[in-house]
Amino acid sequence: MTAQSGRSVEAVLLFTGFIASTYGFGLYLFPAMVEAIRSDIPFSYGVMGVMSGAVQAGFMVAALMAGFLTVRLGALPMILGSIAICVTGLGALAAAQSVLMIAILLTLLGGCAAAIWVPMVEVSKEIVPKQHQGKALGLMSSGTSYGIFVNSFLLTLLLPAFGWRSLWIATCLIVGALAILGFLRLRRLGKREAPSDLPAAPGPRTSLAARLAALPKGLTATIIFMMFLNGLSCMPYQTYLSAYLQGEAGYTADTSAYVWRFIGIVGMFSGFAIGALADRITVRWGMFITYLVLAVSCCLVVIAKQGAGQLPVYLAAVTFGISFYAIFGLVPAYISHMFGLGSAALVFAFGNIALGFGGIVGNMLGGVMKESTGSFQPVYLMMLGAALLSAIISWLMPSERTENGAMQAADV
């Protein structure tokens, strides 16, 4: 292994840890222990829905700003700045005394999650050889599952003995150590990695308006709507999972922690495994199968009750772990197959806004439906409908193997 490849591997591992921190701790630790927080600082499920919607809003705003800031400030400063803000937010949550302060800090962490991914993808193109790009980005994107896996241990080891604030302290210390290591290693990497092969001067660029006009309207709108459905189904699923299992279905906090652990463990491998399957049967059929697995997971959550035993809820965790991480790899893969480079970026940008908006709508509807019906089951039935509709859409979409060449030829 050369020194340059060793630095690339080191950077990819650090980036994976950063994703585990900003997504695993920053986005998913709160819903995993929300019942413990509510017992200390009371708030309704309606307020919880608004808070979760605010987190998604922070994610959307940061996603829009990250591209411009990366160009202006540079990729590595954006990454290191985001992880530093994440450390501060996690530490501040340990001292939060009001629902408003918790909501503000969670929204900040949601923004960190989006702001760290955009420059991370950009800088990986410079430090990771082309032949290893897929493996590197796959590992980095799976960082969320590693964070969720660590969450499950913190929930069982620290929460019963020391309370919910101890989890924010522990994650702050973990991410703080990771951030210090990142500052020491990545700053040096940034200085060493001077561009050795500068690209040729670009020719005249097609205007943004022309690119937008050239997009195939039907397929573009379909993909954007499907990503909205992804947010509507996947985001509230996690937001309300622990609250449903402990507050309504009658399961213990330990069972809820094990559910999150199963989701994390399965997610460590599911994205790569389903992606490999999609390479053989087409991405379109991979999406179709994945959405059906998500629908099965929603059904299992609906029927999960303490009297039914633990098998349904554990199966729900496994099937969600399979589908969740696969979805967020398959949809971008389909876009990259069906659109040229410039147009693919535009479609994916619009899709991410739709994804965040779907998460806001799903989280807020979830809180309202719980308050009005007294049950989370209608919320998961809504997610079931969104998953089935996504499966139907993916079944009707054109295959990338037959349409890819024509679509790219039409790209500007």
Average of per-residue pLDDT across 126-137: 61
Nearest C-alpha neighbor of 111 from the set 89, 133, 136: 89
The model's pLDDT over 302-356, given as tens digits with 9 standing for 90+, comes to 888 766 678 889 999 999 998 987 887 788 778 777 776 556 656 766 777 888 8
In this predicted structure, the answer to whether residue 361 has a pLDDT above a threshold of 80 is yes
Nearest C-alpha neighbor of 216 from the set 355, 335, 329: 335
pLDDT of residue 283: 82
In this predicted structure, the answer to whether residue 168 has a pLDDT above a threshold of 90 is yes
pLDDT of residue 188: 63
Q: How far apart are CA 354 and CA 368, in angstroms?
A: 21
Average of per-residue pLDDT across 112-137: 68
Banded pLDDT at 250 (limits 50, 70, 90): confident
Phi, psi of 305 (to 5 degrees): -140, 160
Average of per-residue pLDDT across 388-392: 96
Average of per-residue pLDDT across 361-373: 88
| Exposure on the CB side of residue 131, measured as CA atoms within 13 A | 1
Nearest C-alpha neighbor of 175 from the set 36, 19, 52: 19
Banded pLDDT at 194 (limits 50, 70, 90): very low
Average of per-residue pLDDT across 354-364: 86
Banded pLDDT at 170 (limits 50, 70, 90): very high
Token pair 């005249």 in the structure block, residue: 204
Nearest C-alpha neighbor of 223 from the set 327, 116, 115, 361: 327
Banded pLDDT at 121 (limits 50, 70, 90): low
Share of residues in the chain with pLDDT > 90 (%): 26
Q: Which two tokens stand for residue 293?
A: 């697995």
* Choice between 336 and 135, residue whose per-residue pLDDT is larger: 336
CA 293 to chain centre: 18
Q: Which two tokens stand for residue 234?
A: 């996947």
The model's pLDDT over 264-316, given as tens digits with 9 standing for 90+, comes to 888 888 877 887 788 788 888 989 999 999 999 999 998 887 666 788 899 99
pLDDT of residue 128: 67
pLDDT of residue 178: 94
Q: Whole-model pTM?
A: 0.72
Q: How far apart are CA 395 and CA 285, in angstroms?
A: 7
The model's pLDDT over 200-245, given as tens digits with 9 standing for 90+, comes to 444 455 555 666 666 777 888 999 999 999 999 988 898 888 888 8
Banded pLDDT at 409 (limits 50, 70, 90): very low
pLDDT of residue 249: 84
Give, in order, the Cα–Cα distances in Å from 269 to each of 14, 108, 144, 161, 322.
19, 29, 12, 32, 8
Lowest-pLDDT range of 38-47, 167-176, 388-397: 38-47
Strand, coil or helix: 129: coil
The model's pLDDT over 95-117, given as tens digits with 9 standing for 90+, comes to 999 999 999 999 999 889 888 87
What average pLDDT does the structure give for the chain?
A: 81
Number of C-beta neighbours around residue 44 at 10 A: 13
- Identify the sign of the CA torsion 202, 350, 22, 150: negative
